[in-house]
Amino acid sequence: MEGAGIQTPGATAARYSYLFPIGYSNSSECGYCRQTRSGYSYYAIATSLTPAFYQKLVDRCWRRSGSLLYRPNQKHSCCPHYTLRLDSTQFKPTKDQRQAVNRFNRHIVGETYVRDAARLHPRSRAEVRRRHNVFDLVERIHEPEAELLKSPPSPDHVFTVTLEPDTFTEEKYQVFENYQRIVHREPPDRISRQGFKRFLCGSPLTRETMTGPDGTERQLGSFHQCYRIDGKLVAVGVLDLLPDCVSAVYFLYHESIHWLNPGKLGALREIALAREAGYRWWYPGYYVHNCAKMRYKIEYKPQYVLDPEDLRWYLLDKEALALFDTGHYVCFSGRTGDQREETGAPAVMNSIDTESSPKPAPPPLPAAAQTAAPDPIKARETDQESGGASPAEEDQEEDEDDFEDDFEDEDDAFLLASNMPGIPSLEEMRQVDMDGLVLRSDFSNNLIVASHLVIWDTEDIAQFGTLKSRIAELVAAVGPDLIGELCIDFRKRSS
């Protein structure tokens, strides 16, 4: 295909997001109920994602785990995954949440500081009254930070929070290792630097700065929000900062601060960030209603749930929660809860989530990709046969032919025949003009226009497994309206 339909990637190349299609596949094991062959998702690997593109994906039920992107089929799952978001400008912390902040702040500054500061820097009567009546989240969250504290007196501890690039450091890994081993009781042989890197460092999101409509500058991309007490790193919030949201990816902390309720503090700080920097929305990750330990997510209100069919947001009020109680698959646009079709899974399940600790759903990994029990840091183990070049394969030899990788696993299915909510049908995809779609391969630095591919006129999107049908599946999964922002990336992921 060299030489055909060349576009030069110049100034325009940066606006594309680069995705490699893996396909629509059954997951090997559910991270919540441990059921095997637990449900279908569509998978892709991102080599580069613009924050604006990924914002659109998360608003269509997608999520990422490292560079693996997936969109679960809520209708065909033991534990349907729903996307939630919270309006930070409307957020009202509960008494419990306010207390967690106050307790932490008092621990940092200490009783002596509180007493002496009241004497040295007395608050006006009006100020005291205001603080009594109003809990200003942004103000309270920043209060214990060393650089904002009035001094003298000296606080008991020096507390700092910095937003850093999501690069690997040994300091971060040590906290991660402790968190996985102690808080999540992960066997030590399953915790590795490699896993930490793959899952939580070096995300495919590009880093940018944007100016919001209100004139405020905000950072976009993946970041580590690093919490240090007396210079020691004690917690890391892994965040995707997108044009309209702070998306929580993971939160890890050292066991020594477990008693301070760090999960709650982390969530509140992220909500405060969404509010003060103008992102507005906070995405706590997927919500699985039949998983009791996920309930902490909906303790932050008001929250909205993304309808899998019309892809609009619905207030997660009592009525909506009642709908979740009655149905397995819930469609809010039609206000219906379907009884589950699958069998076996109990109504309330154990999960590896820890209470009050915002932890993302482990991705429902494709069965073909799986060689061990799934967990968030084992995203896609080596899977030479499934055709998807995964981050795990970086140093390994791969097949020569880019396009001949087919998915022979019995658990792969055809997305366009799946009836998955929110996905165009085969007939609808036939109406989509994909001729101008661009592709990238190893053969050249240039982008190739789909209509110039030799197979373009001979293959049909209905022929499951062909290159053209794989491209059509990816387009359907991201949404045909995003064709102009998408580059199908068939390069070997060796660089």
| Residue 22: alpha-carbon gap to chain centroid | 18
Contact flag: residue 361 with Zn ion (CB under 5 A): no
Q: How far is the CB of 375 from Zn ion (least distance, A)?
A: 14
Distances in Å between the Cα of 319 and the Cα atoms of 83, 313, 314, 315, 335 are 17, 14, 11, 9, 10
Q: For Zn ion, which stretch binds (CB under 5 A), given 33-41, 142-150, 291-299, 394-402? A: 33-41
Q: How far is the CB of 365 from Zn ion (least distance, A)?
A: 13
Question: Which DSSP category does 277 fall into?
Answer: T
In the complex with Zn ion, the residue whose CB is nearer, 350 or 419, is 350
Q: How far is the CB of 75 from Zn ion (least distance, A)?
A: 14
In the complex with Zn ion, the residue whose CB is nearer, 369 or 453, is 369
In the complex with Zn ion, the residue whose CB is nearer, 33 or 201, is 33
Q: How far is the CB of 349 from Zn ion (least distance, A)?
A: 7
Other beta carbons within 10 angstroms of residue 228's beta carbon come to 17
Contact flag: residue 392 with Zn ion (CB under 5 A): no
Q: How far is the CB of 38 from Zn ion (least distance, A)?
A: 5
In the complex with Zn ion, the residue whose CB is nearer, 362 or 421, is 362
Give the distance between the most distant pair of CA atoms in the chain. 83
Asked if residues 451 and 5 have their Cβ atoms less than 8 Å apart, the reply is yes
Q: For Zn ion, which stretch binds (CB under 5 A), given 70-78, 295-303, 309-317, 406-414? A: 70-78
Q: How far is the CB of 35 from Zn ion (least distance, A)?
A: 5
Near Zn ion in 216-275, by CB under 5 A:
none
In the complex with Zn ion, the residue whose CB is nearer, 82 or 456, is 82
Which residues have CB under 8 Å from 119's CB, separation 6+?
none
In the complex with Zn ion, the residue whose CB is nearer, 228 or 340, is 340
Asked if residues 419 and 413 have their Cβ atoms less than 8 Å apart, the reply is no
Q: Compute the distance between CA of residue 270 and CA of residue 250 in angstroms, rounded to an integer.
A: 12
Report the run of H or E that residue 114 belongs to, with start and end: helix 111-120
Q: How far is the CB of 57 from Zn ion (least distance, A)?
A: 23
In the complex with Zn ion, the residue whose CB is nearer, 251 or 286, is 286
Asked if residues 451 and 338 have their Cβ atoms less than 8 Å apart, the reply is no
Structural tokens at position 484: 């102009």
- Binding string, 13-32, against Zn ion, x = CB under 5 A? -----------------x-x
Distances in Å between the Cα of 179 and the Cα atoms of 161, 191, 340, 356 are 19, 10, 35, 14
Distances in Å between the Cα of 200 and the Cα atoms of 173, 233, 282, 405, 491 are 10, 16, 19, 28, 23
Q: How far is the CB of 26 from Zn ion (least distance, A)?
A: 12
Asked if residues 417 and 24 have their Cβ atoms less than 8 Å apart, the reply is no
Tokens 């892994």 belong to which residue? 238
In the complex with Zn ion, the residue whose CB is nearer, 34 or 106, is 34
Asked if residues 221 and 205 have their Cβ atoms less than 8 Å apart, the reply is yes
In the complex with Zn ion, the residue whose CB is nearer, 350 or 396, is 350
Which residues have CB under 8 Å from 350's CB, separation 6+?
32, 33, 293
In the complex with Zn ion, the residue whose CB is nearer, 38 or 47, is 38
Q: How far is the CB of 306 from Zn ion (least distance, A)?
A: 19
Q: For Zn ion, which stretch binds (CB under 5 A), given 78-86, 130-138, 161-169, 173-181? A: 78-86
Q: For Zn ion, which stretch binds (CB under 5 A), given 35-43, 84-92, 155-163, 350-358? A: 35-43
Contact flag: residue 324 with Zn ion (CB under 5 A): no
Question: Which DSSP category does 433 fall into?
Answer: -
Size of the site for Zn ion (CB under 5 A): 7
Contact flag: residue 450 with Zn ion (CB under 5 A): no
Q: For Zn ion, which stretch binds (CB under 5 A), given 79-87, 146-154, 160-168, 261-269? A: 79-87
Closest residue to bound Zn ion by CB: 30
Distance between terminal CA atoms of the chain?
21
Q: How far is the CB of 351 from Zn ion (least distance, A)?
A: 9
Distances in Å between the Cα of 160 and the Cα atoms of 201, 253, 330 are 21, 15, 42
Structural tokens at position 315: 């207030």
Contact flag: residue 294 with Zn ion (CB under 5 A): no
For residue 82, the cross-strand partners are 287
Q: How far is the CB of 77 from Zn ion (least distance, A)?
A: 7
The type of residue at 181 is: R
Contact flag: residue 33 with Zn ion (CB under 5 A): yes
Q: Which residues bind Zn ion (CB under 5 A)?
A: 30, 32-33, 35, 38, 78-79
